[in-house]
């Protein structure tokens, strides 16, 4: 009742009334009234779109003052000290690593710019998931980085909030919130119905309400406190949430809510029932891994696990106790609507809220994951989740708090486990049938789409907090759970080698697998490792190691692995191994733990090494093309495995683990395992022929190389064995730089990632820059004209090449094999350049290693074991004898191993040696294990088993009389093997590695075997090891050897140097002198180095070497031992040589091509030169010949078969953009700054023409000016000529050839067939006879008056129409092309569009444009001179000819011939008809334009004497104009004074050439009518300040006339080929006047007043001047037209600020003036500063986007735009565009396209100059490649 009453009243007064009621001490009635009102207003049954309720709420909350006012008031009580600004995707934010405590820290632009981060390591970034500003939060960042506002803690002195201000809010908001909740409940339907997408609809309707909530949060701390209270109050929730029993609607939607809640648990109700029943049947001793059941998913079986060991409370359904909880619940259900997320995050600055919210978030964590997995748009949802969770978990206190109180860790691990369990399959590794191991299925969406990442990233985030990580490491059950999680990835994505057919489709699951191992396993591992760095944390490491080993044991058991791998499979994923390896490494390196205490028994070690070793062998197999049938993806895996982002977590731990195994296991066992794994055991025979059942012939060599390389890496790599972090960084850096010069960013990317990549910091990143400057030189970005733009590069210093280049590290880190070659090439180039090694190809240098950490000393035993020595001996022997499959690489690696052995001696401890060593079958080879002593041990005979066909067999030898002990021993040993072994093991081996290895393994297993493994073994041992196929008949032969390793080395030395006795007996003594000369060189050097080392370390070796060297050897070893072997060797060599030859040819070709291009462009071919040499003074009798670049014939250009120049026509507005000031205009970067376009040349000319047109006859106006400043046509040529008919057929062929890209043939575009320059037309050459040229050019002594008459007569001659010929047709065609080049509006300046007058103006202006542009290119003047050669390269002469032919067709309006007005004193004509406007007075006419008109309209060719006559007569006019303009600048007094003083000189001699007399005359004449000088009388005070002296007057007159002289001179230069003589700038006037013959060529320094001396009057000067002046008297606006500044500065692009940020900050959020929106892709015209919407539909007009449209209007189809969001410049040229690159570079001289790195960028002045240069010289088309059509869409 009451409510109804209230409802009817005005909202504002109701609010005021209620508020006062409520403020009373007894406010019960007020409360009741309010409740009733709210009951009816906030009725959830009303559709939410009805905003009446919202309005009511606003009014009620605000009370009488109105909502806006209320907001302001509340905001004044804001006590927040945090910024907390929340942003969504694509927002530009900052990150400062110097200020950040948490790596996730970020700042809004305002806080960043208001803080001090100078010199900090910061970057700008575009937010992907959204975020919030951390300014003011000292948990996340250092206070020094706070902005001014948040450092001041403004909150502390804010007054407390008056009680009644927020009273209404406290009462109304709970009701408002429950109302929203009810809408959410009501709108929700279970998503299995088709109505699923209706969620969006519900949200849309609720938009205003949620926006209102968001607005409230922005009112600051006071309002947030109120909201927090409401959201967290349990009583309010209880009272309002349940719904009133009597309200059916409320009841219904409450039930809806309950049912939604019921499904919120991890385990659905049905599943719960199932597991409940299954419970008793399972034992729990194997942890969580009992198999539950399997259901078929495609071919693979999906496996489900029990979840019995997980905390049931985590799996349960949710229960809610406050609004916040239910709101979050619905937020999740509705898949994180953006508005809700923002609302929830906006509240975070309130600390109470933050804690409660974090707890609530954790409480819902399992539910979030469940929803995420079901979501259709998991990507968006992931981003939103992380947007929230990053804010919560980056704060250590909060994270620890919820870890302690809410089991955060348990929840996360459980949830991760649960998530992965949904996609498990049975592992097929090892035992396909009986495996009990389960792995994730990488083809499931969960892995493929990376859906798990938000959870993993949260987990990594909280593990970065020490306190949380400690909790994790202390909780053993959690660790166990985690290990079982990791084991889900162990052995995933198994590869099976395809043996018969190529795999049908290439599975791409490997991406998912590598990503999963890195993100889900390795990252958390690195996170944990950062907390295990000191002695105090030893216990943690011990625990982890223990669980690792336990889990590994479980894994071996589950896959049924005993001692032998199933063949032809490999998985790259062994996270358990890697966990174990990395914790071991940390324990030894940082925690001082003893390695021994962390190692398992020998048997376990043997097992552990198998899988990592298999990966190494597989890598080699993949590179040897043994996996080609598996497709390219397997190469992808091999590359990813070693790639910089993965190597730290994959190959490095693997190698380290193998090193650990090698250091503890028996070295003979280990070495033989390696060769067996690499399948090259069969090769290691001394027989010339062998069989290999595992490898094809062509795979043997690469596999042998692979095995040896691996051994070298294994025994020399020290990354985890003793190198310090800095050393590692240095080695990484050096290896990357050696491969290629690198940019800073690519180097940063290539250095393996930090253990914790989220921080974006590289190991020891503080020293990254220092390290870089220590090892590399910076090559600043250079711009090669016409070349590509280079970036700043780092290149290794010379001493790095000399001392640090490590080929082994390079091999380890190369992803692409070619990089190894590249490093070697660069190394050779360095050696050659520095003169260290100049002949032949150098070998990879040997590099000394960092000493081993004592724990790993055992590794050196690998180099001192008999097995390896036998291999070395055998290989040396085979290389010496040129056996097949031996390569230089093999020798190189063998030598490397020997040298490593020599450098890493094992302290001999006889007692420690293996007792069983006597029994070894190969024991007979060498007496001990020390390499040094084995080196000189002579092997006499070796027994080999070879096929009967082998060459050894044919050689019928007597068995040696006294077989050495070695051989017999060997026989005995092999006989000692049991019969069973004998059959299975191939006895063809010189030594039976395999048998040995197996026996050892067996022994150890027997010693400490478990029953379980015993039970399985027989099976595996009997199934494998039977060699397939029947072995061929073998014969035992005994080879006579009589060599030691040393003697073999010396023989190889001879072989390599191709010299007998290459080492003299005394060479050793000579060696000692200079040890350094051995560091670099080829194989010979390497052998010498080794021999020297051996000699210095052992006397016996020394003696032995001297002995061998002293002997005279028979001729070099028998080369042709095996012809087939030789053949293959040769073949390989030949192939190699062919490859080299080809490469050399290519390089030569490229350089030749390049030099050709240069030639073609700079120096003309003699014929072309002749063609252009029309004005040459030499007499030539013959016709000019042209070369056709298409058909290759040369001949004259004729009327019938004309030849033409290849030209590019382009419209240009460069001239129009010139300004008066030489300084470039500044690009505005604030709202205050602006650019005014009115002062440009183009605008000034437009104004002048329009002004004239308003007074004078249109046709006359159109002959008095030039146009083409904007949109004029510029003609360029590459100088090549072709027959026009040849060109036509060329175009036809282009049309059919659709592959031509970048230009459109239909528009006539093509590239010059010779030089490939872009062109679009052909300019016909005039047929020329040189005799004609001569007469044309002849000097004359005729009097001026005679010439004037001759000129007049010539002008009277009617233009004759040339006879129709092919040439004339082509000439008209090119005129058409010229017209089509520019837009209509640049041609139609007249009042009648399309009239001949317009055409006339346009045509002579084309000539003007080209002359003016040439002037611009020459720097604005002609001071630099230029030989006639320059004219030849230009096509102006030909262009003039074509234009002249065309212009002759027009008849000039002869009633008013300017020539007569110029040269005769005519009776003043007053016959001006009333209806007609007057002609343009001579004083207003543009002299250069008149000159061009005369030249082009007179009969061709024009004689030079006539040309000079024209120039002279026009100079008179120009000079008079100068006087008139000057006089207008005088103050009246000055004018008076000059007038008076000049009158006196009028009668003097030569008065007609006296500036004073003439000036006086002009002043008198112009003063006759007041209007001329009167206009400016208002502002004379300004002008009078400068006093005019004779000097300043002369200067001013010269300046006024200079542009005319320049143009005339240039014209003369092109027409007659006269040289332009250079001169100093201050003498330009006299120089040019002399050149034109106006002045005596010898300048008279005594008289500086040249300008008047150049005058040459044929009639009375005073009369003529009077006549000209009389024309202008009586006209309005005279002064504006009289006074004009003809000088223009050279064109400039806008001046840009140094720092890119200045531009970016202003423009990236600036609104477009056309559409008033902030463009998605803003761009900026660098010519005029116009801001446009690139690609925006908003500003599209007539189907043309704004950028293209602007390019047409601003640059006549040429546009230069800076893309604000990318820092890149694009060029638009007509219908094409290209990316030009960036003129902003970072501190390392690199571009940052798209601002990906976000580092500060600075203007690269050189690049910008190049850009400007290309613009001014119109060379964009020629220099830039990669053009594409833009379809008007930019
Ligand atoms: Zn901020
Ligand atoms: Zn701030
Ligand atoms: Zn900072
Ligand atoms: Zn031709
Ligand atoms: Zn060319
Ligand atoms: Zn522009
Ligand atoms: Zn726009
Ligand atoms: Zn727009």
Q: In the prediction, which pLDDT does 3 show? A: 57
What confidence tens digit (pLDDT) does each residue in 180-193 have? 888 888 877 765 55
Q: Rounded to an integer, what is the distance from CA 1116 to the centroid of its chain?
A: 56
The chain-wide mean pLDDT, for the chain, equals 80
**Nearest 5°: phi and psi at 49?**
-65, -20
Q: In the prediction, which pLDDT does 1588 show? A: 83
Q: In the prediction, which pLDDT does 1514 show? A: 94
Q: In the prediction, which pLDDT does 1765 show? A: 92
Q: In the prediction, which pLDDT does 1724 show? A: 95
Question: Which residues lie closer than 8 Å to 465 by C-beta, 6 or more apart?
Answer: 396, 399, 400
CA count, 13 A, side-chain hemisphere, 1489: 21
CA of 1634 to the centre of ligand 8 (A): 57
What confidence tens digit (pLDDT) does each residue in 1203-1260 have? 999 999 999 999 999 998 889 999 999 999 988 878 899 999 999 999 998 888 888 8
pLDDT band at residue 22 using 50, 70 and 90 as cut-offs: confident
Return the residue matching tokens 């052992």. 1098
DSSP letters, 1663-1692, are HHHHHHHHHHTT-TTHHHHH------PPP-
What confidence tens digit (pLDDT) does each residue in 524-537 have? 999 999 898 888 89
pLDDT band at residue 361 using 50, 70 and 90 as cut-offs: very high
Q: In the prediction, which pLDDT does 1581 show? A: 47
Bigger pLDDT: 39 vs 1701: 1701
- Strand pairing class (438-440; 424-426): antiparallel
If you compute the radius of gyration of the chain from its CA atoms, what whole number of angstroms results?
Answer: 46
**CA of 1311, nearest ligand number:** 5
CA of 1716 to the centre of ligand 7 (A): 7
CA of 1189 to the centre of ligand 4 (A): 7
pLDDT band at residue 1119 using 50, 70 and 90 as cut-offs: very low
CA of 1375 to the centre of ligand 5 (A): 21
d(CA 1072, CA 1096): 9
Cβ–Cβ under 8 Å, residues 1527 and 1566: yes
DSSP three-state, residue 1059:
coil
Q: In the prediction, which pLDDT does 982 show? A: 32
CA of 1203 to the centre of ligand 5 (A): 14
d(CA 1138, CA 1815): 46
What confidence tens digit (pLDDT) does each residue in 408-450 have? 999 999 889 888 888 888 888 888 788 889 999 998 888 988 8
Tokens of 571: 């998985």
Q: In the prediction, which pLDDT does 1361 show? A: 62
pLDDT over threshold 70, residue 766: no
Taking residues 1406-1426, report their average pLDDT. Answer: 88
Q: Which is it for the CA torsion 1512, 1516, 1517, 1518, positive or negative?
A: positive
CA of 1735 to the centre of ligand 7 (A): 9
Taking residues 556-578, report their average pLDDT. Answer: 90
DSSP letters, 902-927, are HHS-----GGGS-GGGGG-TTTTT-S
- Strand pairing class (1203-1212; 1272-1283): antiparallel
d(CA 552, CA 407): 28
CA of 112 to the centre of ligand 1 (A): 7
- Strand pairing class (1758-1763; 1186-1187): unpaired
Return the residue matching tokens 């949830």. 415
**CA of 1732, nearest ligand number:** 7
Q: In the prediction, which pLDDT does 1107 show? A: 84
d(CA 1570, CA 1578): 14
Bigger pLDDT: 1324 vs 312: 1324
CA of 323 to the centre of ligand 7 (A): 45
pLDDT over threshold 90, residue 1165: no
pLDDT band at residue 541 using 50, 70 and 90 as cut-offs: very high
Asked which of 399-403, 563-567, 1089-1093 is least confident by mean pLDDT, the reply is 563-567
What confidence tens digit (pLDDT) does each residue in 1066-1094 have? 677 666 555 556 678 888 888 888 888 88
CA of 1719 to the centre of ligand 8 (A): 6
Taking residues 601-608, report their average pLDDT. Answer: 90
CA of 1711 to the centre of ligand 8 (A): 8
CA of 1758 to the centre of ligand 6 (A): 9
Neighbours of ion ligand 8 (CB under 5 A): 1712, 1715, 1733, 1736, 1738-1739
What confidence tens digit (pLDDT) does each residue in 1173-1184 have? 333 333 344 577
Tokens of 970: 């060997």
CA of 1578 to the centre of ligand 1 (A): 56
d(CA 1429, CA 1168): 11
Q: In the prediction, which pLDDT does 409 show? A: 93
CA of 853 to the centre of ligand 8 (A): 65
CA of 1731 to the centre of ligand 6 (A): 8
Tokens of 251: 């009841």
CA of 1787 to the centre of ligand 2 (A): 27
Question: Which residues lie closer than 8 Å to 482 by C-beta, 6 or more apart?
Answer: 413, 472, 524
What confidence tens digit (pLDDT) does each residue in 331-358 have? 998 888 888 999 999 999 888 999 999 9
pLDDT band at residue 1601 using 50, 70 and 90 as cut-offs: very high
Q: In the prediction, which pLDDT does 206 show? A: 83
**Nearest 5°: phi and psi at 1157?**
-55, -45
pLDDT band at residue 311 using 50, 70 and 90 as cut-offs: low
DSSP letters, 1526-1565, are HHHHS-HHHHHHHHHHHHHHTTSTTGGG-HHHHHHHHHHH
Q: In the prediction, which pLDDT does 997 show? A: 56
**CA of 1315, nearest ligand number:** 5
Taking residues 391-416, report their average pLDDT. Answer: 91
CA of 1201 to the centre of ligand 4 (A): 10
Helix axes 323-333, 234-241, angle to 10 degrees: 60
User: Of 894, 876, 1045, 1042, whose CA–CA distance to 966 is shortest?
Assistant: 1042
Q: In the prediction, which pLDDT does 998 show? A: 54
**CA of 109, nearest ligand number:** 1
Q: In the prediction, which pLDDT does 642 show? A: 93
Check whether the bond before 1501 is cis (ω within 30° of 0).
yes
d(CA 1220, CA 1596): 16
Q: What's the pTM?
A: 0.79
pLDDT band at residue 783 using 50, 70 and 90 as cut-offs: low
CA of 1527 to the centre of ligand 5 (A): 52
Taking residues 793-820, report their average pLDDT. Answer: 91
**CA of 1723, nearest ligand number:** 7
CA of 103 to the centre of ligand 3 (A): 12
**CA of 1225, nearest ligand number:** 6
Q: Which of 86-90, 1062-1066, 1724-1728 has the highest mean pLDDT?
A: 1724-1728
CA of 1736 to the centre of ligand 8 (A): 5
**CA of 81, nearest ligand number:** 2
Q: Which of 564-568, 690-694, 1064-1068 has the highest mean pLDDT?
A: 564-568
CA of 146 to the centre of ligand 1 (A): 9
d(CA 499, CA 793): 45
Asked which of 660-669, 693-702, 844-853 is least confident by mean pLDDT, the reply is 693-702
Question: Which residues lie closer than 8 Å to 397 by C-beta, 6 or more apart?
Answer: 139
CA of 1734 to the centre of ligand 7 (A): 8
Tokens of 959: 């068995």
**CA of 1433, nearest ligand number:** 5
Q: In the prediction, which pLDDT does 951 show? A: 64
CA of 808 to the centre of ligand 2 (A): 50
pLDDT band at residue 1580 using 50, 70 and 90 as cut-offs: very low
User: Of 1656, 1655, 1657, 1659, whose CA–CA distance to 1464 is shortest?
Assistant: 1659
CA of 1300 to the centre of ligand 5 (A): 17
**CA of 107, nearest ligand number:** 1
pLDDT band at residue 993 using 50, 70 and 90 as cut-offs: very low
Q: In the prediction, which pLDDT does 1146 show? A: 45
d(CA 721, CA 1403): 81
Q: In the prediction, which pLDDT does 1020 show? A: 32
Paired with 1194 in beta bridges are 1187
What confidence tens digit (pLDDT) does each residue in 316-334 have? 777 888 889 999 999 998 8
pLDDT band at residue 983 using 50, 70 and 90 as cut-offs: very low
pLDDT over threshold 70, residue 1473: no
pLDDT over threshold 90, residue 507: no
**CA of 97, nearest ligand number:** 3
Q: Which residue blocks in 1231-1387 are alpha helix, DSSP H?
A: 1241-1253, 1258-1261, 1284-1296, 1330-1337, 1344-1356, 1366-1381
Q: In the prediction, which pLDDT does 1338 show? A: 57
- Euclidean distance between the first and the last CA atom of the chain, given in angstroms as a whole number: 64
Question: Which residues lie closer than 8 Å to 753 by C-beta, 6 or more apart?
Answer: 644, 645, 648, 762
CA of 1785 to the centre of ligand 1 (A): 28
pLDDT band at residue 1453 using 50, 70 and 90 as cut-offs: low
Q: In the prediction, which pLDDT does 915 show? A: 39
Q: In the prediction, which pLDDT does 1679 show? A: 75
Q: Is residue 143 exposed (0-12), middle (13-18) or buried (19+ Cβ within 10 Å)?
A: exposed
CA of 1777 to the centre of ligand 7 (A): 19
pLDDT band at residue 1149 using 50, 70 and 90 as cut-offs: very low
Q: In the prediction, which pLDDT does 1339 show? A: 59
Taking residues 378-402, report their average pLDDT. Answer: 89
pLDDT band at residue 961 using 50, 70 and 90 as cut-offs: very low
**CA of 93, nearest ligand number:** 1
CA of 1712 to the centre of ligand 8 (A): 6
Tokens of 92: 């530009």
pLDDT over threshold 70, residue 985: no
């Amino acid at each position: 009742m009451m409510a109804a009453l209230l409802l009817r009243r005005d909202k504002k007064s109701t609010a005021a009334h209620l508020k006062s009621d409520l403020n009373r001490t007894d406010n019960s009635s007020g409360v009741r009234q309010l409740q009733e009102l709210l009951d009816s207003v906030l009725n959830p049954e009303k559709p939410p779109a009805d905003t009446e309720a919202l309005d009511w709420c606003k009014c009620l909350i605000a009370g009488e003052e109105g909502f806006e006012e209320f907001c302001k008031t509340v905001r004044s009580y804001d006590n927040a000290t945090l910024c907390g600004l929340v942003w969504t995707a694509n927002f530009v934010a900052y990150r400062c690593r110097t200020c950040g405590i948490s790596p996730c820290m970020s700042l809004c632009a305002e806080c960043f710019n208001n803080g001090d981060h100078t010199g900090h390591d910061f970057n700008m970034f575009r937010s992907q998931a959204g975020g919030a500003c951390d300014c003011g939060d000292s948990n996340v960042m250092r206070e020094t980085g706070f902005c001014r506002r948040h450092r001041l803690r403004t909150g502390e002195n804010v007054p407390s909030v008056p009680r009644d201000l927020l009273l209404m809010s406290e009462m109304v908001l709970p009701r408002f919130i429950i109302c929203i909740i009810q809408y959410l409940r009501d709108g929700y339907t279970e998503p299995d119905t088709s109505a699923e997408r209706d969620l969006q609809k519900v949200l849309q309707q609720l938009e205003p309400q949620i926006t209102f909530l968001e607005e409230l949060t922005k009112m600051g701390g006071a309002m947030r406190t109120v909201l927090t209270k409401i959201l967290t109050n349990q009583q309010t929730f209880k009272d309002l949430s349940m719904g009133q029993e009597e309200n059916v609607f409320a009841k219904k939607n409450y039930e809806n809510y309950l049912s939604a809640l019921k499904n919120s648990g991890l385990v659905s109700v049905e599943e719960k029932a199932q597991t409940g029943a299954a419970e008793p049947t399972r034992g729990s001793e194997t942890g969580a891994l009992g198999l539950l059941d399997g259901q078929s998913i495609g071919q693979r079986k999906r496996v489900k696990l029990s979840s019995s060991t997980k905390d049931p409370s985590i799996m349960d359904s949710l229960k809610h106790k406050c609004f916040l909880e239910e709101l979050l619940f619905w937020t999740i259900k509705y898949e994180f609507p953006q508005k809700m997320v923002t609302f929830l995050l906006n509240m975070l600055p309130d600390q109470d809220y933050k804690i409660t919210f974090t707890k609530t978030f954790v409480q819902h964590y399992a539910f979030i994951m469940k929803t995420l997995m079901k979501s259709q748009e998991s990507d968006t949802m992931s981003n939103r989740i992380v947007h929230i969770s990053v804010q919560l978990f980056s704060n250590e206190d909060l994270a620890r708090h919820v870890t302690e109180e809410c089991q955060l860790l348990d929840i996360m691990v459980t949830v991760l486990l649960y998530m992965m369990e949904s996609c498990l399959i049975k592992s097929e590794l090892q035992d396909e049938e009986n495996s009990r191991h389960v792995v994730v299925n990488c083809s499931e969406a969960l892995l493929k789409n990376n859906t798990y990442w938000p959870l993993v990233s949260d987990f990594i985030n909280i593990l970065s907090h020490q306190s949380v990580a400690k909790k994790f490491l202390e909780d053993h059950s959690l660790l166990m759970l985690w290990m079982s999680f990791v084991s889900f990835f162990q052995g995933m994505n198994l590869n099976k080698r395809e043996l018969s057919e190529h795999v049908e489709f290439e599975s791409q699951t490997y991406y998912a697998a590598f990503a999963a191992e890195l993100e889900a396993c390795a990252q958390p591992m690195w996170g944990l490792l950062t907390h295990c760095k000191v002695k105090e944390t030893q216990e943690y490491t011990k625990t982890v190691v223990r669980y690792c080993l336990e889990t590994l044991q479980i894994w071996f058991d589950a896959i049924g692995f005993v001692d032998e791998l199933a063949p032809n499979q490999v998985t790259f994923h062994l996270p358990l191994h890697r966990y174990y390896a990395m914790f071991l490494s940390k324990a030894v390196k940082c925690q001082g733990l003893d390695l021994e205490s962390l190692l398992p028994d020998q048997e376990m070690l043997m097992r552990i090494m198998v899988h990592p070793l298999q990966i190494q062998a597989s890598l080699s197999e993949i590179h040897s093309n043994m996996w080609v049938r598996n497709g390219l993806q397997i190469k992808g895996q091999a590359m990813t495995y070693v790639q910089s982002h993965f190597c730290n977590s994959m190959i490095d731990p693997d190698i380290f683990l193998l090193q650990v195994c090698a250091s503890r296991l028996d070295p003979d066992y280990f070495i033989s395992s390696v060769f067996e794994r690499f399948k090259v055991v069969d090769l290691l025979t001394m027989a010339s022929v062998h069989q290999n059942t595992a490898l094809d012939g062509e795979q043997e060599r690469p596999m042998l190389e692979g095995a040896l390389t691996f051994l070298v890496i294994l025994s020399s790599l020290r990354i985890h064995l003793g190198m310090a972090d800095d050393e590692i960084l240095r080695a990484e850096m050096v290896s990357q730089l050696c491969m290629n010069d690198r940019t800073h960013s690519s180097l940063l990317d290539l250095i393996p990632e930090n253990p914790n990549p989220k921080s974006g910091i590289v190991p020891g990143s503080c020293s990254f820059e220092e390290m870089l400057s220590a090892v590399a030189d910076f090559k600043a970005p250079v711009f090669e004209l016409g070349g590509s733009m280079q970036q700043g590069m780092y290149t290794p210093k010379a001493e790095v090449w000399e001392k640090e280049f490590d080929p082994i590290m390079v091999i380890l880190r190369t992803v692409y094999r070619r990089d190894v070659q590249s490093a070697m090439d660069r190394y050779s180039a360095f050696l050659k350049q520095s003169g260290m090694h100049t002949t032949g190809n150098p070998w990879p240098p040997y590099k000394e290693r960092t000493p081993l950490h004592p724990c790993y000393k055992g590794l050196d035993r690998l180099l001192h074991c008999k097995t390896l020595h036998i291999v070395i001996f055998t290989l040396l022997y085979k290389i010496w004898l040129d056996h097949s499959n031996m390569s230089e690489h093999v020798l190189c690696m063998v030598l490397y191993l020997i040298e490593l052995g020599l450098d890493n001696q094992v302290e001999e401890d006889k007692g420690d040696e293996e007792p069983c060593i006597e029994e070894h079958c190969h024991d007979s080879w060498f007496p001990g294990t020390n390499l040094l002593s084995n080196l000189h041990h002579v092997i006499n005979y070796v027994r080999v088993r070879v096929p009967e066909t082998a060459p050894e067999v044919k050689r019928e030898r007597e068995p040696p009389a006294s077989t050495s002990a070695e051989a017999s021993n060997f026989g005995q040993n092999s006989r000692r093997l049991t019969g069973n072994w004998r059959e299975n093991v191939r006895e063809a081996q010189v030594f039976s590695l395999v048998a040995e290895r197996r026996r050892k393994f067996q022994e150890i297993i027997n010693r400490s075997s478990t029953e379980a493994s015993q039970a399985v073994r027989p099976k595996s041992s009997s199934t494998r090891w039977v060699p397939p196929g029947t072995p061929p008949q073998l014969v035992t032969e005994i080879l006579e050897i009589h060599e030691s390793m040393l003697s073999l080395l010396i023989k190889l030395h001879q072989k390599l140097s191709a010299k007998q006795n290459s080492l003299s007996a005394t060479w050793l003594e000579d060696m000692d002198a200079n040890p350094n000369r051995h560091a670099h060189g080829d194989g010979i050097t390497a052998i010498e180095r080794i021999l020297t080392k051996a000699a210095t370390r052992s006397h016996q070796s020394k003696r032995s070497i001297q002995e061998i060297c002293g002997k005279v050897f028979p001729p070099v070893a028998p080369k042709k031992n095996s012809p087939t072997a030789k053949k293959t060797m040769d073949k390989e060599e030949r192939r190699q040589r062919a490859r080299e030859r080809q490469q050399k040819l290519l390089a030569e070709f490229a350089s030749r091509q390049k030099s050709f291009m240069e030639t073609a462009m700079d120096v003309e071919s003699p014929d072309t030169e002749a063609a252009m040499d029309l004005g040459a003074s030499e007499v030539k009798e013959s016709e000019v010949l042209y070369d056709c670049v298409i058909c290759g014939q040369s001949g004259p250009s004729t009327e019938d078969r004309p030849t033409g120049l290849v030209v590019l026509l382009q419209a240009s507005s460069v001239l129009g953009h010139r300004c008066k000031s030489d300084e470039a205009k500044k690009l505005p970067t604030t709202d205050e700054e602006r650019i005014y376009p009115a002062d440009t040349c183009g605008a000034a000319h437009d104004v002048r023409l329009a002004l004239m047109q308003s007074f004078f006859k249109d046709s006359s106006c159109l002959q008095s000016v030039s146009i083409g400043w904007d949109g004029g046509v510029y003609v360029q040529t590459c100088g090549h000529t072709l027959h026009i008919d040849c060109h036509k057929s060329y175009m036809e062929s282009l049309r059919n050839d659709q592959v031509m890209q970048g230009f459109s043939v239909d528009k006539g575009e093509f590239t010059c067939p010779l030089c490939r320059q872009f062109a679009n037309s052909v300019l016909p050459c005039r047929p020329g006879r040189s005799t004609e040229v001569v007469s044309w050019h002849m000097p004359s002594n005729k009097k001026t008056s005679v010439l004037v008459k001759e000129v007049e007569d010539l002008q009277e001659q009617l233009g004759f129409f040339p006879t129709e010929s092919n040439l004339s047709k082509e000439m008209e065609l090119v005129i058409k092309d010229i017209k089509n080049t520019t837009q209509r509006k640049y041609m139609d300046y007249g009042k009648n569009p399309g009239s001949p007058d317009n055409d006339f103006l346009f045509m002579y202006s084309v000539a003007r444009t080209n002359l003016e542009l040439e002037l611009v290119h020459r720097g604005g003047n002609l001071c630099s001179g230029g030989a006639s050669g320059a004219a030849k390269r230009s096509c102006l002469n030909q262009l003039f000819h074509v234009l002249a032919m065309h212009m002759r067709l027009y008849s000039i309006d002869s009633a008013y011939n300017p020539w007569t007005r110029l040269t005769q004193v005519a009776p003043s004509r007053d016959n001006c008809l009333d209806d007609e406007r007057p002609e343009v007075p001579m004083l207003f006419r543009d002299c250069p334009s008149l000159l061009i008109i005369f030249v082009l309209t007179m009969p061709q060719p024009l004689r030079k004497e006539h040309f000079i006559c024209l120039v002279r007569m026009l100079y008179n006019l120009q000079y008079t104009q100068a006087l008139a303009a000057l006089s207008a600048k005088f103050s009246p007094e000055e004018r008076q004074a000059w007038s008076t003083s000049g009158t006196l000189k009028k009668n003097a001699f030569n008065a007609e050439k006296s500036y004073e007399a003439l000036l006086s005359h002009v002043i008198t004449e112009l003063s006759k009518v007041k209007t001329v000088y009167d206009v400016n009388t208002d502002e004379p005070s300004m002008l009078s300040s400068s006093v005019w002296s004779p000097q300043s007057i002369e200067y001013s007159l010269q300046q006024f006339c200079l542009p005319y002289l320049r143009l005339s001179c240039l014209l003369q230069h092109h027409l007659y080929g006269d040289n332009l003589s250079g001169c100093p700038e201050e003498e330009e006037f006299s120089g040019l006047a002399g050149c034109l013959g106006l002045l005596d060529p010898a300048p008279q320094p005594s008289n500086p007043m040249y300008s008047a001396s150049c005058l040459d009057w044929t009639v009375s000067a005073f009369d003529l001047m009077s006549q000209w002046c009389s024309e202008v008297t009586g006209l309005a606006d005279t002064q504006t037209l009289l006074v004009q500044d003809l000088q223009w500065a050279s064109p400039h692009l806008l001046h840009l600020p140094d720092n890119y940020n200045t531009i970016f900050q202003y423009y990236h959020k600036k609104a477009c003036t056309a559409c008033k929106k902030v463009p998605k892709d803003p761009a900026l015209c660098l010519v005029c500063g116009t801001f446009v919407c690139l690609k925006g539909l908003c500003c599209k007009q007539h189907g043309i986007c704004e950028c293209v449209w602007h390019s047409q209007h601003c640059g006549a189809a040429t546009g230069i735009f800076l893309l604000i969001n990318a820092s890149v410049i694009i060029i638009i040229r007509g219908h094409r565009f290209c990316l030009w690159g960036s003129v902003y570079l970072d501190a390392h001289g690199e571009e940052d396209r798209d601002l990906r790195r976000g580092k500060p960028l600075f203007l690269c002045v050189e690049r910008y100059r190049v850009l400007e240069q290309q613009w001014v010289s119109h060379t964009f088309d020629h220099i830039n490649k990669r053009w594409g059509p833009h379809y008007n869409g930019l």
